[in-house]
Amino acid sequence: MSTSAGQAAGDQRPRRGGRLGLAVIGVVVAICSVGWAIVMAHVGQVPGISTQTITYRIVDDSTVEIRWQVAKPSGKPVRCVVDALDARFAPVAEQEVIVPAGRSHVERTDILRTTRRAAAARVKECRTI
């Protein structure tokens, strides 16, 4: 009987740490979420290769000019894809470019022929061959 009386008395005491526990769980979840976001932001990137779209110019309804650069290890060739997108972000042109080994920084200007008027152009990706 004394154990059931003790349990009954224990049930009536106010619980401590409820809000503190929830706060700790919230902080842990937030830290994990930020870490996961950082990992997902870097998925698909190739270490040691950095690309940048410098400028693009819509020439007419079927042509866009893109100026871009890639920094890479000088001893490795890379295959880059540049593309153009319409106002709804649908691809209207795509071109593969091989950047040969021997230089660590390359800046290029390419002309893309589009299926309809482009609204933007970009370096989509670069990967080692």
- 5-50 pLDDT tens trace: 555 555 566 566 678 888 889 999 999 998 888 777 766 556 789 9
- 83-113 pLDDT tens trace: 999 999 999 999 999 999 999 999 999 999 9
**What is the pTM for the complete model shown?**
0.64
Q: Rounded to an integer, what distance in angstroms lies between the CA atom of residue 60 and that of residue 84?
A: 13
Q: Rounded to an integer, what distance in angstroms lies between the CA atom of residue 125 and that of residue 43?
A: 12
The structural domains of the chain, with segments of one domain joined by +, span 2-41, 50-128
Secondary-structure class of domain 50-128 per CATH = mainly beta
Q: Rounded to an integer, what distance in angstroms lies between the CA atom of residue 78 and that of residue 49?
A: 9
- Residue 94: per-residue pLDDT: 97
pLDDT interval class at 1 (50, 70, 90):
low
- Residue 3: per-residue pLDDT: 56
Please say whether the beta carbons of 85 and 33 come within 8 A.
no
- Residue 48: per-residue pLDDT: 85
Please say whether the beta carbons of 103 and 79 come within 8 A.
no
Please say whether the beta carbons of 60 and 92 come within 8 A.
no
Q: Rounded to an integer, what distance in angstroms lies between the CA atom of residue 30 and that of residue 42?
A: 19
Q: Rounded to an integer, what distance in angstroms lies between the CA atom of residue 129 and that of residue 44?
A: 15
